[in-house]
């Protein structure tokens, strides 16, 4: 099988079972991919595979979440998304994604129940933990499976506006506890909590419209990630109405992101694409278009939706013998045409063809 990456030389690979091999050792009959361009897969780095829409926030049951995971993970595969970072859910039930047949889902890392202090998020969603119990909660519950801990960094209080949920000290201790347990920390930051989150060593800033240049510089220096979720910010502004106080905050945030994205690219921040329930599962290519529209170069927007995520989590970004046979092909070079990401020609997960549009 001919592998032509967007950058670098083309090469040949075979597949045996679920694994890439040298072409001479291939036992699988492979299609002609010589006219196509290859990526290791698309990646959605802010998904919630146990949920179907924002509207279900307070009503969804564990049973519905269990039923939703196989359907939603398949939708991702069917769009060429072979890597998902699930940024948590209503309960630890979201961890069932890890148990689902690996041939029928992308590679998944996931946070369990999202963590907020009482009153610090949608009520009846995730785990409510007092700040003084956060470290204990992370050590004994949150960091034990899935690879990620998800904190809610700030949340609006009636008549007050957004309030930071945790002090810098608490955040710093929480990050240390998670890292000691081998987990990474992601934080929901829609308002002013991102500065503390960056200072505390949080691995991934989710949303983060109000990151400063200083924050971005710190994040870049330590290889931290930023998942802007622009489709979701636009979606939330639509829901609230552009003239509401929340809607005005999102508009301001979008303007700020338009300034920050080129700076982040220049500084070398790991910017990653995430959909966050704003579009149907699998449609992360939409976020790639938004990232480009809001200031990332075409190359950086395509990388944010594929190879950057692979490099960030330590999955192979360049398919090679011995690795799990995951690969997605496109008709155009994705680094020159972000549009092509929404239309993969051939998708292979663990050696099996998920979808092929080749004649
Ligand atoms: Zn989210």
How does pLDDT run across 38-96, given as a tens digit for each residue?
A: 999 999 999 999 999 888 888 889 999 999 999 999 999 999 999 999 999 999 988 98
pLDDT of residue 255: 97
Instruction: Indicate if 336 and 218 belong to the same structural domain.
Output: no
Q: How far is the CA of 47 from the centre of ligand 1 (A)?
A: 7
Confidence tier at 190 by pLDDT (50, 70, 90): very high
Q: Given this model, what pLDDT does residue 59 score? A: 87
Measure 208 CA to ligand 1 centroid, in angstroms. Answer: 12
Name which of 92, 53, 238, 246 is nearest 161 in CA terms. 246
With a pLDDT cut of 70, the percent of the chain lying above it is 100
- Report how far ligand 1's centroid is from the alpha carbon of 349 (Å): 25
Distance from the CA of 51 to the center of ligand 1, in angstroms?
Answer: 10
Q: Are residues 13 and 54 in the same domain?
A: no
Neighbours of 59 (CB within 10 A): 9
Query: What whole-number distance in Å separates Cα of residue 275 and Cα of residue 75?
Result: 13
Task: Give the DSSP letter of residue 56.
Answer: G
Query: Is the domain of 77 the same as that of 91?
Result: yes
The 10s digit of each residue's pLDDT in 108-135 is 999 999 999 999 998 889 999 999 999 9
| Same domain (yes/no): 29, 79 | no
Can you spell out the DSSP letters for 273-330? ---TTSS-TT-HHHHHHHHHHTT--HHHHHHHTTHHHHHHHT--SS--TTSB--EEEE
Ligand 1 center from residue 231 Cα (angstroms) = 12
Query: What confidence score (pLDDT) does residue 144 get?
Result: 80
Percent helix, percent strand, percent coil in the chain, to nearest 5: 40, 20, 40
Same domain, 333 and 273: no
Distance of alpha carbon 2 from alpha carbon 236, whole angstroms: 42
- pTM equals 0.97
Predicted local confidence at residue 57, as pLDDT: 80
**For all residues of the chain together, what is the average pLDDT?**
96
- Residue 259 sits in the same domain as residue 296: yes
- Statement to judge: residues 163 and 231 lie in one domain: yes
Q: Does 287 score more than 80 pLDDT?
A: yes
Dist. CA 276 → ligand 1 center (Å): 5
Nearest to 198 by CA among 176, 180, 177, 172: 172
Q: If you measure from the C-alpha of residue 103 to the centroid of ligand 1, how many angstroms do you get, rounded to a whole number?
A: 25
Dihedral (C-alpha) 103, 106, 109, 112: value to the nearest 10 degrees? -80
Between the CA of 249 and the centroid of ligand 1 the distance, in Å, is: 18
Interval 202-235: pLDDT, tens: 999 999 999 999 999 999 999 999 999 999 999 9
Q: Output the CA 48–ligand 1 centroid distance in Å.
A: 7
Ligand 1: centre distance to CA 235 (Å):
12
Distance 182 CA to ligand 1 centre (A): 22
Residues 324 and 343 in one domain: yes
Ligand 1 mean position to 46 CA, how many Å?
Answer: 6
Distance 317 CA to ligand 1 centre (A): 25
Domain count, the chain: 2
C-alpha 272 – ligand 1 centre gap (Å) = 14
Both tokens assigned to 305: 């939706």
Whether 359 has a pLDDT exceeding 80, the answer reads no
Q: How confident is the model at residue 313 (pLDDT cuts 50, 70, 90)?
A: very high
CA dist 38 and 10 (Å) reads 9
Mean pLDDT confidence for 256-284: 97
Statement to judge: residues 309 and 323 lie in one domain = no
> Which CATH number do you get for residue 138?
3.20.20.140
CA of 26 to the centre of ligand 1 (A): 41
Q: What are phi and psi of 321, to 5 degrees?
A: -55, 140
Residues 6 and 126 in one domain: no
Share of the chain above pLDDT 90, in %: 91
- Cα of 340 to ligand 1 centre, how many Å? 26
Q: Are residues 108 and 218 in the same domain?
A: yes
Overall average pLDDT of the 140-145 stretch: 84
- Is residue 267 domain-shared with residue 352, that is, in the same domain? no
Give the domain extent around 31. 1-40+318-359
The CATH number of the domain where 337 resides is what? Answer: 2.30.40.10
* Predicted local confidence at residue 142, as pLDDT: 81
322 CA to centre of ligand 1 in angstroms: 34
Distance (angstroms) between ligand 1 centre and the Cα of 176 equals 23
């Amino acid at each position: 099988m001919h592998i032509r990456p967007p950058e670098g030389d083309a090469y040949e690979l075979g597949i045996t079972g679920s694994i890439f091999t040298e072409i001479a050792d291939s036992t699988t009959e492979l299609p002609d991919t010589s006219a196509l361009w290859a990526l290791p897969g698309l990646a959605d780095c802010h998904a919630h595979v146990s949920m179907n829409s924002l509207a279900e926030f307070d009503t969804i049951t564990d049973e519905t979440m269990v039923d939703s995971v196989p359907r939603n993970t398949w939708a991702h595969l069917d769009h060429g998304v072979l890597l998902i970072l699930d940024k948590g859910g209503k309960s630890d039930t979201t961890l069932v994604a890890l148990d689902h047949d690996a041939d029928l889902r992308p590679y998944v890392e996931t946070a369990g129940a999202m963590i907020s202090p009482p009153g610090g998020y949608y009520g009846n969603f995730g785990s409510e933990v007092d700040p003084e119990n956060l470290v204990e909660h992370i050590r004994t519950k949150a960091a034990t499976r899935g690879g990620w801990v998800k904190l809610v960094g700030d949340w609006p209080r009636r008549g007050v506006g957004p309030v930071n949920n945790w002090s810098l000290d608490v955040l710093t201790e929480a990050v240390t506890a998670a890292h000691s347990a081998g987990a990474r920390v992601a934080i929901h930051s829609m308002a002013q909590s991102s500065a503390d989150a960056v200072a505390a060593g949080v691995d991934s800033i989710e949303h983060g419209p109000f990151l400063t240049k200083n924050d971005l510089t710190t994040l870049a220096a330590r290889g931290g990630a930023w998942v802007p979720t622009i489709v979701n910010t636009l979606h939330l502004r639509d829901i609230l109405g552009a003239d509401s106080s929340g809607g005005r905050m999102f508009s301001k945030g979008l303007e700020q992101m338009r300034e920050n994205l080129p700076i982040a690219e220049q500084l070398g921040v790991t910017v990653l694409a995430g959909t966050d329930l704003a579009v149907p599962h699998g449609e992360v290519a939409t976020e790639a278009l938004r990232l480009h529209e809001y200031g990332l170069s075409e190359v950086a927007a395509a990388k944010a939706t594929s190879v950057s995520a692979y490099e960030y989590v330590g999955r192979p970004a360049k398919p090679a013998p011995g690795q799990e046979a995951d690969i997605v092909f496109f008709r155009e070079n994705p680094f020159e045409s972000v549009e092509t990401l929404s239309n993969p020609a051939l998708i292979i997960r663990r050696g099996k063809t998920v979808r092929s549009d080749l004649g």
